[in-house]
Amino acid sequence: MRSVDANMNNQYRDIRLGTDIGGTFTDIVLNVRGQSISTKVLTNQKAPEAGILEGISVVTRKAGIGADEIGMIIHGTTLATNALIERRGAKCAFVTTEGFRDVIEMRTENRFDQYDLNLRLNPPLIERQYRFAVRGRLDANGNELEPLDEASIEGLAQKFDAAGFESVAVGFIHAYADGSHERRARDILAAMLRDVPISLSSEVAPQMREYQRFSTVCANAYIHPRIARYLTNLQKLLAEAGAECPVYMIHSAGGLISIDTAKRFPVRLIESGPAGGAIFAAGAAARFGFDKAVSFDMGGTTAKICLIENGEPGTSREFEVARSHRFCRGSGMPISIPVIDMIEIGAGGGSIVWVDGMARIQIGPQSAGSEPGPASYQRGGTQATVTDADILLGKIDPNNFAGGAIELSASAASAAIERDIGMRLSLDTSTAAFGISEVVDENMSNAARVHAIENGKDISEYVMIAFGGAAPLHASRLCEKLGIKRCLIPPGAGVGSAIGFLQAPFSYEAVATRVVSLSRFDVDAVNDMLADLVASAEGFVRAGTTAQIRLELTAFMRYQGQGWEIPVPLKLQRLKGHDVNVIQRHFEACYRGFFGRTIDVLDDLEIEVVSWSVKATERKRKPNRVQPLAGSDTPLTHIFRQVVDTTSGETLDCRVVARKDLHKGARYSGPLLIVEPETATYVSSRYDAAIQMDHSILLSAKCEAEDG
Amino acid sequence: MADHSGIYMQVMWNRLISVVEEQAMTLLRTAFSTSVREAGDLSAGVYTPDGRMVAQAVTGTPGHVNTMSESVLNFLAEIPREEMFEGDCYVTNDPWKGTGHLHDITMVAPSFVAGNLVAFFACTAHVVDIGGRGFGADGRSVYEEGLLIPILKFAERGSVNQDLVKIIRHGVREPDKVVGDFYSLAACNEVGHRRLVDMFAEAGLDSFDELSEFVFSRSRNATLERIAARLPRGSWENTLTVDGYDEPITLAVKVSCTGEKVYVDFAGSDPMSRWGINCPVNYSKAYACYALKCLVAPDVPNNFAALQPFEVTSPVNILNAVRPAPVALRHVLGHMIPDLIYGALAKALPGQIPAEGASSLWNLHISARPANGRDGQQHEILMFNSGGTGARPQLDGLSATAFPSGVHTMPVEATEHTGPVVVWRKELRPDSGGDGQLRGGLGQVIEIAPKAGYEFDFSAMFDRIYHPASGRHGGKAGGAGVVELDDGTKLRPKGWQHVPTGRRLILKAPGGGGFGVPEKRSAEARKADLLAGYVTKPETQQD
């Protein structure tokens, strides 16, 4: 803690480095007193830390500083996610309650695809022979029905030692209500198994529903040794390279945690890269004062969409990782931890296009990726992709892609689309390309609309923030489909996640299940539990910062008898008896927000709280506000290219201009194509583009510009 | 621009599927009955003004597929167009006009855009109680099984029929949950309607005609192509004998394919039972169509035209039970229909059809109360559990997984919050997968007891105790089901029975049948089975 303070006070506190290890690239962003220098290096699959060191040497050289001058390193990685997807984890044992050995294998007893007779399920993360059941049982309120069989746990410890297990997960029924059996089991195991990490479900994911909780604790144990090794090694290498500054990790909910916390709870690192993207968008939304924003991140393989309110991305308490059928709900393993709530669909530039049995154009989820790549890359890929369609529509200039670094073949794109789509559907190539673009845009806008609706929101009131290689090409059509009036394309979008890391606050969300009905509300017990949650959440944040901490309380509530809880934000304070009425009013207001009306015909219907969450966040200085500029009409003389307008399907003469040549404060009328090395922004005929003081591009619907 | 219309139509079709999906999700999240909210026993869809289904949510269970499709036509026959207004919502649970038993509530709402009736939305959900004898097989006629709500208006011009609500409130055991579910159903249609209005406005549509014709013609053509490619012409028969209530029941089928249509006829099946295991024919049709669609055209979305090539008929018998037969547990035999049909098609497509599975869900309805007549609240607890599925031509069967039903199980921790019971065991049942080149899926063992000071009655609705799932092509049968107390007392497979305080109810759900002769199972697969303990005896898996 002392070393953090020392660093905070020294002159280097303004030099921070963010690094995001992705599947293909490792992004590095160095921020030296407000100036950003970034680079991308290929991810080193065998030794991911080597890519970071390589990147650091590139950016420090460019900045003319030494590694020892870096004040803080913030790191996010897909390693945790990939270890689960690729099943590269530890030899792991699971200790559970007698009678429940197969919970993670029986799942919800459901088939995620109702019509597939040859359905394949993911094998359980920990195989049956490595799952062990012991006696000892609590009831739903946490009362002991049967004492823990300590002798058999001792027996297991000997067995684990002999068999060389590298990690152990413990998950008992109703442990979210009382974790004492689990802690006792850990003590017994730890006495005999030195240096073997032991993960408890009551600590990793103390929420009701055994399948989700056990799945989470097993995932934590499974990746624990690998991630701990990696982080220890990374710290060592960084120190050797002179970067002895503190290193913090981005967690799934988009905040920072210490390396020690990350080593104990490696599941909290899952999806940390995409979380960085959401923070990047949230930062832009906060600067421009957009209270309601939706981030749209479209890369080579997937599109990710996240709602941001008042500068904060939405969070959820559960998600699914490692879906075997890439995006099919129910085909992955559930992870019950706080996470940035985003949806991801198989729609990217490299998504492969095909025709289904109903003569419908389908997109993905398979992606040509960067190897072999879209047909137009001519690197071995022959199947038509979304990028190939964008070339034929005129939105991508094949002779000036990635700043001219890669030469694309329009004829290869055309041949692939004609063969894969045009001939099958008797469409000319240009119409086929239009169809591809329209279908992928519809898929993404559908996903965005449904995501908003599931959160009780109306997406047309939001401002879109688009980043990632393919997003600016598709953003204006998406906005049209969603009724969104404004769209911001910030600069630096190519390394958005790593930039986002630098903006992330220290934060930790502690969640616990404690079912309490409002009519029998035990104020003292709830206050005690909340105090524990506050202590836990604050403790994790204090490990990284001495700044002021903001605390937020959310109750997850429902009418008794329902199975779905809605989040109800409450004021965190010592509750008194009459606060129950306030809680009820908040619940009813939130319920109306989600479902239109409350259920008021039922006189004796109980309302209950199922789970509680306390989120502690480091208070950060408010970003400097940027006033959005409407801009003044600026004519452009260049007329270069024919582009198929995605709104009408008509071919239009479209002006093309380089982003670097645009003037701050200028407004240009669509259709317009703004090109830059990493991507291009297509401004459809229904939008204007105004260049902002920070070089962001702000699209506004034309009718709105006229009104206001 | 004409050549873009097909693309726009396709885009609108995608949108429509997302509209009904959202309709179903609303129901899932607002429903009170565990059967809906945890298990997904529901469905939702959108229809043309003349009652043809255009799209149906994937969320939900196949039991409602075709039943819902026809159900809207029944509403149209009953309520004249001139009596339909904006804000209306119609309801029924008539087993012969809805989805086969009184517990399923179907609601239909007209959707008006600019004063014109452009569509109907419909949804169905299984409520926790509907009065009568409770959810079980013991009713001797449908009149004993609970309240029957004929087709009538739940709401007119937005205002709810309070007389109906009162009748329900006073006629069922859990009035809050049941009335709550009626409101959830109405809300879910309303959500569908609102999204459709948005979609019409954005696309500039004023009627459904062009889009529905597009959906129907694409779906019809795709289904016909699949039938021609997948099924030979001819006619095949099969019979299947299962436990029934107090005597075995034999189901019979003849499946015929003309190249363009597939006919399914249940002539030869046993006559109606005196017990509540009879199937109205709409429910039998639903599972027959589901079985055929899985095999022939799994990728074609469900709608009127996609289902049209499948024609299902039956003389009056246990699979075409007529009023006033008791039908509460129609799912027990309904879930066996895919096994029945696949047995016939295995003759048409040898080597390509999975073995039989547990098939019928091992549902359990518990009514728990304080022991020895002490005063206290009674709790209704519903659990859905699955046995193993049959081995597939290239894959082992799935253990403890629902097929053909699409429901989920409930978390034990949630069940124990619902009432005074303790689930002591819910895990895989070793040695219950039928041996074969491909092994059947394992069943599961459940042990459940009343909490100290409580006792319970439960409604048994179990099958494959005396008639386990058969193997295919030399595969062995799956393990038979068992229902007993922990002191060894054997219990009946159907009907209400008692579990006193201090005793445990033990359920051993059946396994799936094997595929191919056991001698052909690979040494590696056998070794893996032993290592995991799926099989405990080295030589044979099943006697």
Q: CA A384, CA B287: separation in Å to the nearest integer?
A: 39
pLDDT at B429: 98
Residue of A nearest to B291 (CA): A115
A102 or A364, greater pLDDT = A102
Could you tell me which of B309, B330, B311 has the C-alpha nearest to residue B321?
Answer: B330
* Mean pLDDT for chain A overall: 88
Distance, in angstroms, between B517 CA and closest chain A CA?
A: 20
Q: Which CATH superfamily is domain A2-84+229-269 in?
A: ATPase, nucleotide binding domain (3.30.420.40)
Nearest Cβ partner for A602 among B176, B409, B424: B176
A117 contacts on B by Cβ (under 8 Å): 294-295, 298, 354, 392
For β-strands B454-461 and B364-370, DSSP reports them as: antiparallel
Whether A169 has a pLDDT exceeding 90, the answer reads yes
Most distant CA pair in chain B, distance: 78
For β-strands A167-171 and A144-146, DSSP reports them as: unpaired
Token digits of residue A51: 């890519």
pLDDT at B69: 78
Q: Inform me whether the C-beta atom of residue A558 falls under 8 Å from chain B C-beta atoms.
A: no
When scoring A94, A97, A98, A115 by the number of chain B Cβ atoms within 10 A, the one with the most, hence best to mutate, is A115
Nearest Cβ partner for A129 among B29, B221, B531: B531
B176 contacts on A by Cβ (under 8 Å): 561, 602, 604-605
Q: Inform me whether the C-beta atom of residue A101 falls under 8 Å from chain B C-beta atoms.
A: yes
Give mean pLDDT, residues A1-18.
52
Token digits of residue B510: 């059946």
Positions of chain B with pLDDT lower than 70, given as ranges? 1-3, 38, 65-66, 539-543
pLDDT at B2: 37
> By CB neighbour count within 10 A (0-12 exposed, 13-18 middle, 19+ buried), where does A219 fall?
buried
% of chain A residues with pLDDT over 70: 93
CA distances from A70 to A18, A30, A50, A506 (A): 11, 9, 18, 18
Which residues touch A703 (CB under 8 Å, ≥6 apart)? none
pLDDT tens for residues A113-156?
Answer: 889 999 999 899 999 999 999 999 999 989 999 999 999 999 99
Q: CA B339, CA B343: separation in Å to the nearest integer?
A: 6
Are A30 and A14 contacting, i.e. CB atoms less than 8 angstroms apart? no
Nearest Cβ partner for A564 among B29, B221, B395: B29
Give mean pLDDT, residues A43-65.
88
pLDDT at A255: 86
Q: CA B424, CA B445: separation in Å to the nearest integer?
A: 10
Which residues touch A241 (CB under 8 Å, ≥6 apart)? A53, A56, A57, A67
Q: CA B360, CA B341: separation in Å to the nearest integer?
A: 15
Distance, in angstroms, between A560 CA and closest chain B CA?
A: 8
Could you tell me which of A202, A464, A241 has the C-alpha nearest to residue A336?
Answer: A202
Q: Which CATH class is domain A86-223?
A: alpha beta
**Which residue shows structure tokens 């894959």?**
B395
Residue B197 identity (one-letter amino acid): V
Question: In chain B, where are the structural domains located?
Answer: 2-218, 354-543
A427 contacts on B by Cβ (under 8 Å): 3
Token digits of residue B540: 């044979």
**Beta-carbon neighbour count of residue B234 at 10 Å?**
12
User: How does DSSP assign B210-234, residue by residue?
Assistant: HHHHHHHHHHHHHHHHHHHHH--SE
Q: CA A269, CA B19: separation in Å to the nearest integer?
A: 34
Question: How close are the terminal C-alpha atoms of chain B, in Å?
Answer: 68
pLDDT at A2: 33
A128 contacts on B by Cβ (under 8 Å): 428, 532-534
CA distances from B328 to A399, B94, B145, B509, B518 (A): 69, 11, 7, 21, 39
Instruction: Strands of B258-392 (E only): list them.
Output: 262-265, 310-313, 364-370, 379-383
Residue of B nearest to A591 (CA): B30
Q: Find the DSSP H helices in A543-668.
A: 579-595
Residue B333 identity (one-letter amino acid): L
pLDDT tens for residues B117-150?
Answer: 999 999 999 898 899 998 888 899 999 999 999 9
How much is the pTM?
0.89
For β-strands A247-250 and A687-691, DSSP reports them as: unpaired
Could you tell me which of A250, A322, A239 has the C-alpha nearest to residue A280?
Answer: A250
Are B497 and B366 contacting, i.e. CB atoms less than 8 angstroms apart? no
Are A442 and B15 contacting, i.e. CB atoms less than 8 angstroms apart? yes
Are A367 and A351 contacting, i.e. CB atoms less than 8 angstroms apart? yes
Which residues touch B382 (CB under 8 Å, ≥6 apart)? B33, B34, B35, B128, B135, B363, B364, B365, B366, B410
Could you tell me which of A608, A639, A613 has the C-alpha nearest to residue A555?
Answer: A613
Query: Cis omega (within 30 of 0) on the bond before A671?
Result: yes
Whether A604 has a pLDDT exceeding 70, the answer reads no
Strand ranges of the sheet holding B379-383, from the earlier edge strand across to the other edge: B379-383, B364-370, B454-461, B494-499
Residues forming beta bridges with residue A16, ordered by sequence position: A31, A72
B4 contacts on A by Cβ (under 8 Å): 431, 434-435, 649
Q: Where does residue A289 fall: left (phi above 0), alpha (psi -120 to 50 degrees), or beta otherwise? A: left
What part of A 116-175 touches B (C-beta under 8 Å)? 116-121, 127-129, 137, 139-140, 145, 173-174
SS3 string of A141-206?
CCCEEECCCHHHHHHHHHHHHHHCCCEEEEECCCCCCCCHHHHHHHHHHHHHCCCCCEEEHHHHCC
**Beta-carbon neighbour count of residue A254 at 10 Å?**
29
Measured in degrees and rounded to the nearest 5, phi and psi for residue B388 equal -95, 155
pLDDT at A623: 75
A137 contacts on B by Cβ (under 8 Å): 422, 424
Nearest Cβ partner for B417 among A127, A128, A140: A140
Say yes or no: do domains A2-84+229-269 and A86-223 share a fold.
no
Question: Coil, strand, or helix at residue B342?
Answer: helix
When scoring A354, A562, A604, A686 by the number of chain B Cβ atoms within 10 A, the one with the most, hence best to mutate, is A562
Nearest Cβ partner for A595 among B11, B30, B424: B30
Are A280 and A497 contacting, i.e. CB atoms less than 8 angstroms apart? yes
Q: CA A434, CA B11: separation in Å to the nearest integer?
A: 12
Residue A668 identity (one-letter amino acid): Y
Distance, in angstroms, between A361 CA and closest chain B CA?
A: 8
Nearest Cβ partner for B58 among A114, A120, A481: A114
Residue of A nearest to B534 (CA): A128
Token digits of residue B449: 């007891």
A115 contacts on B by Cβ (under 8 Å): 293-294, 298-299
Q: Inform me whether the C-beta atom of residue A592 falls under 8 Å from chain B C-beta atoms.
A: no
Question: Coil, strand, or helix at residue A502?
Answer: helix
Distance, in angstroms, between A370 CA and closest chain B CA?
A: 28
User: How is residue B429 annotated by DSSP?
Assistant: -
Which residues touch A685 (CB under 8 Å, ≥6 apart)? A645, A647, A648, A652, A670, A671
Which residues touch A86 (CB under 8 Å, ≥6 apart)? none
Question: In chain A, where are the structural domains located?
Answer: 2-84+229-269, 86-223, 507-618, 632-707
CA distances from A107 to A213, A221, A643, B385 (A): 11, 19, 50, 12
A402 or A279, greater pLDDT = A279
> By CB neighbour count within 10 A (0-12 exposed, 13-18 middle, 19+ buried), where does A638 fall?
exposed
A5 or A78, greater pLDDT = A78
pLDDT at A403: 64
Quick one: pLDDT band at residue A452, thresholds 50, 70, 90? Answer: confident
Q: Inform me whether the C-beta atom of residue A358 falls under 8 Å from chain B C-beta atoms.
A: yes
Residue of A nearest to B40 (CA): A110
CA distances from B60 to A110, A326, B23, B68 (A): 11, 21, 11, 12
Residue A199 identity (one-letter amino acid): S
Token digits of residue B509: 């759900």
Residue A596 identity (one-letter amino acid): G
Query: CB–CB of A128 and B400 under 8 A?
Result: no
Q: CA A485, CA A464: separation in Å to the nearest integer?
A: 9
Query: CB–CB of A120 and B395 under 8 A?
Result: yes
What part of A 69-98 touches B (C-beta under 8 Å)? 98
B8 contacts on A by Cβ (under 8 Å): 438
Query: CB–CB of A357 and B1 under 8 A?
Result: no
Strand ranges of the sheet holding B89-92, from the earlier edge strand across to the other edge: B53-56, B42-47, B116-126, B104-113, B89-92, B152-156, B159-160
Are B469 and B513 contacting, i.e. CB atoms less than 8 angstroms apart? yes
Whether A546 has a pLDDT exceeding 90, the answer reads no
Query: CB–CB of B402 and A109 under 8 A?
Result: yes
> By CB neighbour count within 10 A (0-12 exposed, 13-18 middle, 19+ buried), where does B537 fall?
exposed
Question: Coil, strand, or helix at residue B113?
Answer: strand
Query: CB–CB of B190 and A596 under 8 A?
Result: yes
Whether A6 has a pLDDT exceeding 50, the answer reads no
**Which residue shows structure tokens 């409602």?**
B64
Q: CA A268, CA A79: separation in Å to the nearest integer?
A: 12
Nearest Cβ partner for A100 among B187, B293, B426: B426
Measured in degrees and rounded to the nearest 5, phi and psi for residue B9 equal -60, -45
> By CB neighbour count within 10 A (0-12 exposed, 13-18 middle, 19+ buried), where does A706 fall?
exposed
